[in-house]
């Protein structure tokens, strides 16, 4: 196989003159693609402007909706065309029959609908990623462009189907790997490898688990898989959007540009802590508490905590009516409670059942006393009239409302959980472990989020606001119907062309829509603000950190159970996280999940991975480290410093790296100035990494070794270690 920075014929002969000629020829072809892209972009923008400028004063409800749909669709199309400008075409395939295909970010057709550029996700483009010397896929040449803006800087040719050299041409790949890191993750659309492509193009519609060690590209593969699914199943997925769950905001910022760069914008990025809209998590959680809160045992605790708020009165509660005083006793409340509980309604909705039973008993008792001696059930009209009067009186009765609030209060998830945590008595009543106690009940942690989300379903909603909104909508529809009746009643309606024609009249509901403020937010904004939004697909990164309760939340967000799950069990930090994938997934998708692994490390050079692998062998001997695809030629180092020397050594590293192109980071325990925690760097990558006090990272808890493993494998070029007390034995291989 040949890897040349100059063009090659099929026998490997090259020349500088041929190279320059080929480069100019390819540039002309790409210029033509950009000309078509610009023309299409101008056409779409023109249609978008026309749609926005369409007069709305003569549109009915249906036309307005259609206009809004068209505007949104054109806006998305324009956005996809906009991102295609960067690296529009990144290669060419020549078949053994001499046919040429160009591969790029989007598909472009000529006037006869023949492809000038193949979308990288199209089946015909797959050979660009999987063809090798051993399995050429009927291809003879793969050419990969290196571009800057709209200009081709150079290209690399790989002759396929000849049994020489490696199976995969890595010149373009290694160029991308060795390039300095920027502020965010880059897409790999031009350098997808065969094992990655197989995962990206899988048609499995259930849950796919992608496991791989550091640097295997599992995150970016998952994001490209989303782009592929949106390409092949857009109608099914686009309406609901995609949810991407990551470990922290820095990680989400890091990966946030990948999907937009591939033309996909209907994607919501969140951490688990963001899954309850409007909630802010600040407090830290001890491992013991996090493990308990992440366990399914909390389902019984929550159910018991709700049941504890459905009380019976210790003494009868008097309700003084106009003509008689009645009492809510324990026997009546117990009957009402049983009826409400067996209704299978959430707590707040079941309160209506509870109130109906109590109301029935009180009115029966009141009628019997008021009508004693003169009223019988045979006098049905008088009996029911008296009942109606009593029900109306109870509806506005402050003492009755207070009694209902005492026996069956309306609850919010935050109120119930905060009062549970801050009350030893309530914890005992819910048969909960006392470690859950905290004085500040609403100092929310990430571990509280799935519990609060669970309580949304257990409690239901207070329907008062919903009923008020429904009454307003009905009133608007009634008003519109009245207007419609007036229009129809006009005698000259059918005769005078200057007046409204009958077939032009709209339904009252459509007219009412004209009075309702439209929700003009984009899908991403609407989905992020709506706890009940369901997504077409969910990506879960660093999935080994999620608890059993976390998975319940995510499964509610995606009823179709379409997931791409990304993780590495060896890097698990959370005490409540996964120890095996089947334990987390089998309860929800039995037999509907598949496992795929990535074995090649594209990020970490062999010199650094050797050090990290020695640590991995100590704490996870059954897990094989990924094989690094390259060596950097730079040996990682360690240096012992005193307490006084440490600040200067850190500053020296920072100053040295500031003179280089790329990114760097200092990772260490919380009290190291300028250092970030290992957990804050999960999923991130840097050109240079300085790890401080590795022995103290190891000592942070049961998963300290995993934390150190994460820290050591963030570097793409250079790794240094500063230690004060001792260097852990596993790192003895450091220079």
Ligand-binding annotation for 256, yes or no, is no
Neighbour count for residue 39 (Cβ, 10 Å): 10
Residue 4 φ then ψ, to 5°? -125, 145
Checking phi first, is residue 555 left (phi over 0); if not, alpha (psi -120 to 50) or beta? alpha
Residues 6+ apart with CB under 8 A from 734: 611, 636, 637, 638, 721, 727
Ligand-binding annotation for 91, yes or no, is no
Checking phi first, is residue 253 left (phi over 0); if not, alpha (psi -120 to 50) or beta? alpha
DSSP code at position 676: B
What would the DSSP string read from start to end of 477-525?
Answer: HHHHHHHHHHHHT-TTTTT-TTS--GGG---HHHHHHTTSPP----HHH
Strands, sheet with 593-598, edge to edge from the N-terminal-most edge strand: 267-270, 242-245, 537-540, 563-567, 207-212, 593-598
For the four alpha carbons of 622, 293, 251 and 587, in that order, the dihedral sign comes to positive
Ligand-binding annotation for 217, yes or no, is yes
Residues 588 and 607: their CA atoms lie apart, in Å, by 41
DSSP code at position 175: H
Residues 555 and 544: their CA atoms lie apart, in Å, by 16
Ligand-binding annotation for 215, yes or no, is yes
Residue 577 near residue 703, CB atoms below 8 Å: no
Neighbour count for residue 31 (Cβ, 10 Å): 12
Ligand-binding annotation for 633, yes or no, is no
The CA-based diameter of the chain, rounded to the nearest angstrom, is 119
Pairing of strands 242-245, 267-270: parallel
Ligand-binding annotation for 273, yes or no, is no
Ligand-binding annotation for 520, yes or no, is no
Residues 168 and 156: their CA atoms lie apart, in Å, by 13
Distance from CA of residue 234 to its chain's centroid? 18
For the four alpha carbons of 81, 82, 85 and 87, in that order, the dihedral sign comes to negative
The H or E element spanning position 545 is none
Q: Residue 171 pairs with which residues in a beta bridge?
A: none
Q: Return the HEC string of 255-314.
A: HCCHHHHCCCCCEEEECHHHCCCCCCCCCCCCHHHHHHHCCCCHHHHHHHHHHHCCCCCC
Ligand-binding annotation for 214, yes or no, is yes
Termini Cα distance of the chain: 37
Residues 720 and 608: their CA atoms lie apart, in Å, by 10
- Binding-site positions: 212-219
- Binding-site positions for ATP: 212-219
């Amino acid at each position: 196989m040949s890897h040349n920075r100059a063009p090659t014929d099929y026998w490997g002969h090259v020349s500088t003159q041929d190279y320059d000629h080929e480069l100019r020829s390819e540039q002309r072809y790409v210029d033509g693609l950009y000309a078509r892209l610009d023309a299409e972009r101008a056409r779409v923008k023109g249609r978008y402007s026309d749609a926005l400028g369409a007069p709305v004063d003569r549109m009915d409800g249906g036309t307005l909706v259609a206009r809004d749909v068209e505007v949104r669709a054109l806006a998305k199309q324009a956005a996809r065309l906009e991102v295609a400008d960067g690296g529009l075409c990144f290669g060419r395939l020549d078949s053994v029959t001499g046919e040429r295909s160009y591969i790029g970010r989007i598909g472009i057709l000529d006037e006869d609908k023949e492809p000038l550029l193949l979308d990288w996700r199209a089946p015909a483009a797959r050979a660009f990623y999987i063809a090798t010397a051993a399995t050429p896929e009927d291809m003879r040449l793969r050419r990969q462009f290196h571009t800057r803006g709209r200009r081709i800087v150079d290209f690399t040719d790989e002759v396929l189907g000849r049994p020489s050299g490696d199976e995969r041409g890595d010149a373009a790949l290694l160029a991308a790997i060795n390039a300095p890191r920027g502020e965010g993750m880059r897409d790999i659309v031009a350098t997808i490898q065969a094992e990655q492509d197989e995962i990206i193009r899988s048609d499995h519609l259930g849950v796919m688990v992608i496991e791989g060690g550091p640097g295997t590209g599992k995150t970016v593969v998952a994001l490209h898989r989303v782009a592929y699914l949106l390409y092949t199943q857009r109608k099914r997925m686009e309406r609901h959007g995609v949810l991407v769950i990551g470990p922290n905001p820095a990680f989400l910022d890091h990966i946030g540009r990948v999907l937009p760069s591939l033309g996909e914008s209907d994607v919501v990025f969140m951490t688990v802590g963001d899954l309850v809209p409007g909630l802010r998590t600040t407090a830290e959680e001890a491992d013991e508490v996090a493990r308990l809160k992440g366990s399914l045992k909390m389902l019984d605790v929550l159910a018991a905590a709700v049941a504890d708020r459905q009380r019976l009165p210790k003494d009868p509660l008097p309700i003084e009516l106009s003509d008689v005083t009645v009492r809510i006793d324990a026997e009546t409340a117990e009957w009402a409670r049983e009826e409400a509980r067996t209704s299978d309604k959430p707590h707040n909705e079941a309160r209506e059942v509870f109130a109906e039973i109590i109301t029935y008993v009180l009115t029966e008792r009141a009628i019997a006393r008021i009508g004693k001696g003169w009223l019988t059930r045979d006098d049905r009209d008088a009996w029911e009239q008296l009942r109606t009067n009593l029900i109306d009186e109870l509806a506005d009765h402050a003492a009755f409302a207070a009694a209902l609030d005492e026996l069956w209060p309306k609850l919010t998830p935050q109120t119930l959980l905060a009062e549970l945590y801050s009350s030893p008595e309530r914890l005992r009543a819910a048969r909960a472990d006392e470690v859950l106690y905290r004085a500040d009940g609403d100092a929310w942690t990430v571990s509280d989020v799935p519990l609060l989300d669970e309580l949304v379903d257990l409690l239901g909603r207070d329907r008062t606001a919903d009923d008020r909104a429904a009454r307003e909508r009905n009133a608007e529809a009634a008003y519109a119907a009245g207007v419609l009746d007036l229009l129809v009643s006009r005698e000259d309606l059918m005769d005078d062309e200057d007046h409204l024609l009958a077939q032009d009249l709209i339904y009252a509901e459509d007219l009412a829509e004209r009075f309702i403020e439209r929700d003009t937010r984009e899908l991403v904004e609407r989905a992020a603000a709506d706890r009940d939004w369901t997504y077409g697909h969910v990506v879960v990164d660093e999935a080994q950190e999620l608890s059993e309760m976390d998975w319940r939340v995510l499964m509610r967000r995606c009823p179709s159970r379409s997931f791409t799950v990304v993780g590495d069990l060896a890097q698990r930090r959370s005490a409540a996280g996964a120890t095996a994938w089947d334990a987390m997934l089998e309860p929800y998708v039995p037999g509907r999940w598949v496992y795929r692994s990535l074995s090649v490390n594209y990020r970490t050079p062999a010199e650094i991975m050797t050090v990290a692998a020695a640590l991995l062998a100590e704490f996870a001997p059954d897990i094989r480290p990924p094989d690094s695809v390259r060596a950097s030629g730079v040996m990682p180092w360690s240096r012992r410093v005193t307490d006084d020397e440490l600040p200067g050594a850190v500053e020296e590293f920072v100053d040295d790296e500031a003179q280089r192109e790329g990114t760097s980071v200092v990772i260490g325990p919380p009290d190291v100035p300028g250092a970030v925690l290992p957990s804050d760097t999960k999923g991130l990558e840097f050109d240079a990494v300085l790890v401080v006090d590795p022995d103290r990272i190891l000592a942070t808890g049961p998963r300290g070794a995993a934390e150190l493993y994460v820290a050591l494998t963030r570097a793409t070029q250079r790794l240094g270690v500063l230690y004060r007390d001792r260097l852990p034995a596993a790192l003895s291989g450091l220079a």
